[in-house]
Amino acid sequence: MSKRISILHFLSNYIIVLLPIFTLCVMGPTEIYFGNYKELGFTYQEFGWKFLIFSFLITTLLTLILSFLPDKIQKYFLSVIYWIGIAGYLQTMFLNKQLDLMGVSAESYSATRMKTVLNACLWFVLLVLILFFTMYPKTKMHKILSITSGIIFGMQLVGFLSLFPTADEAAFSYPTEELCLDGSEQYTISSKENIILFVLDNFAIDYYTSAVQTYPELTDQLKDFTYYSNADCNYHGTYPSLAHLITGNELDPSLTVDDWLTQCWTNDITNDYFSLLESEDYKVNLYTPVTSILTGTNSLELLDDKINNVTYKSNTRMIDYSKLYKTMLYMSCYRFMPEYFKPAFDVKNETYTSIVSYPENAVQHANYDFYSNLLSTGLTLDNSCNYFTIQHLNGTHEFTTNEFCEYDEQNLSCESTVKGIFTMLNVYIEQLKKLGAYDNSTIIITSDHGTIDRPQMIFFIKEKNETHKMMQETSAPITLNELVPTIVESLGKDYSEFGSSIHDFNDGELRERTVYIRDFDESKPPVPCYDGLRDGKVNSYRVYTYTGGEAEFVNALYGDDVITIPMIDSYF
């Protein structure tokens, strides 16, 4: 009889210990994976079953250790473990409203002081209430804790099992033939003519001006460039901005993500643009780590007749398992933890995009990786054709770079990241000059967007054979709508079909411009994510119209004159 009671006691302890471990190490990573597997790029087998086995083993070990503790100490330990399990479950299920997991927000996670304090109070109150139960007789406490733990575990187990039938084959096996962007020519330029477009993600004008104050010499190597200090992104967010700036196709919120991206690459004006580039003997190479932001759920075949480095992904796949396990656990902790601790587990987007790599097709996206490869391999010349190279780099999406463009956890800031980026750009330009390819190159350094409250972004341009004694600056009110026409203009062609060039606007000119900023509007129904795997984190666009510069935009942002346009579905 005593042996039977001992087994029941062990199982009672086991289910209490299992709850937080299962939530944190199994349910959390699995939910995150099945909601994002098309972006993560690896299969569930790479980590899922290992996490499941580990969770039950560690629960068994901890429960055995608890069994040898004195009853009073054991009771308090179980109460704290139960508190972590219940509070973490409530945090994950009910308190993480619109929490960004996959780099939706460019800035690192932060919560308001009030939200952090209230959240901490909730966790503390739960702890006090649970410890209060320790005053009850031991058997009654065990019954309450084990039954409620068992109920919540059962609910999670049902949810866990339901995730598998709803996922498609891509979650469990790698495709035999899959298109990708080939990175083998990322450092190749033409000995004839070049258009080189650097798209530095999330590079707001404010970041640039702040860095110049710290590093006055920041742009000394850009003396032949013109800096546009009043440049507008049109759309905040890499979606839809990246597809817009590459194709020139303006957003149509009445279309789904897939339909709009299809329109971007197949409309008549875009076809004419890429046909013109081809007729001028330009090879167009695009380098970005996540192609779904340009295609949605469509195949890269959508780009195949326009972007030249679309190829079949090599079978040589490398997985950084240490980064994989750490990333999935960190993302789960990020959901699970109270607000105060979330910043410590906020995974940077360049981390999860670099878990899987294809050495034969590798595309460098992190600033420091791009720079390191630039130093080691250098630029090479090709005399077979002209090159149009689009480098989409991480920019200031996170502050991950020191002033020497190295990853250095001790010396990371906005200013050091910007300085590191310009260190990288300066070396790139120096290598162009050494190869004799600088003068024949049109070089544009810009971004897809700024920050949500400061969406204006950097824009520098040096055209072919342009020289100055020092960098020029203009407040001409340009937008990314003018990028494609400006490129056409640089070819010496009539650009009227494509819109206005940046040269059609003058320094100090007033111009009405419009910015779309994604939002979750509680008065509107939620929308699905474009991939059908989860609900969208946003459901509408806030549309602001302003005349002037950044100050006038800020006035519009905090004013009442805003139009809200519902989404059909959401990329994020």
Q: Rounded CA gap, 252 and 175, in Å?
A: 32
Closest-CA residue to 334 (of 353, 349, 319, 355): 349
Residue 570 counted as domain residue = yes
The residue that leads in pLDDT, 5 or 319, is: 319
Closest-CA residue to 347 (of 370, 367, 362, 325): 325
Q: What percent of the chain has pLDDT over 70?
A: 97
Residue 142 counted as domain residue = yes
- pLDDT value at 105 more than 80: no
Least confident residue range of 135-139, 144-148, 314-318, 332-336: 135-139
Residue 497 counted as domain residue = no
Among 125, 141, 171, the domain boundary falls at: 171
Q: What is the mean pLDDT of residues 294-311?
A: 95
Q: Look at residue 103 in the predicted model and tell me its pLDDT.
A: 54
Position 101 confidence tier, pLDDT thresholds 50, 70, 90: low
In terms of Cβ atoms closer than 10 Å to its own Cβ (0-12, 13-18, 19+), residue 140 is: exposed
Among 171, 203, 220, the domain boundary falls at: 171
Q: Look at residue 107 in the predicted model and tell me its pLDDT.
A: 60
**pLDDT one-digit tens code per residue, 45-95:** 999 999 999 999 999 999 999 988 888 888 899 999 999 999 999 999 999
Return the bridge partners of 386, or none.
Answer: 282
Beta strands in 148-300 (DSSP E): 179-181, 188-190, 194-200, 226-228, 231-232, 282-287
Q: Look at residue 346 in the predicted model and tell me its pLDDT.
A: 87
DSSP state for residue 535 in the 8-state scheme: B
Residue 116 counted as domain residue = yes
- pLDDT averaged over every residue in the chain: 93
Residue 461 counted as domain residue = no
Collapsed DSSP state (helix, strand, coil) of residue 463: coil
Among 171, 193, 225, the domain boundary falls at: 171
pTM: 0.91
Residue 307 counted as domain residue = no
Give the up-direction half-sphere exposure of residue 6: CA atoms within 13 A in the CB hemisphere.
6
Closest-CA residue to 515 (of 554, 487, 485, 484): 554
State which H helix or E strand residue 566 sits in.
strand 563-566
**pLDDT one-digit tens code per residue, 526-572:** 999 999 988 999 999 999 999 999 999 999 998 888 999 999 999 98
DSSP state for residue 410 in the 8-state scheme: T
- Domain count across the chain: 2
Q: Which tokens go with 249?
A: 């196709």
Q: Which tokens go with 436?
A: 């004799």
**pLDDT one-digit tens code per residue, 440-473:** 999 999 999 999 888 899 999 999 999 999 999 9
Q: What angle do CA 67, 64, 31 make, to 5 degrees?
A: 120
Q: What percent of the chain has pLDDT over 90?
A: 80
Position 139 confidence tier, pLDDT thresholds 50, 70, 90: low
Residue 434 counted as domain residue = no
Residue 562 domain boundaries: 507-572
Closest-CA residue to 271 (of 294, 248, 297): 248
Beta strands in 295-403 (DSSP E): 310-312, 318-319, 356-357, 380-382, 386-393
Residue 82 counted as domain residue = yes
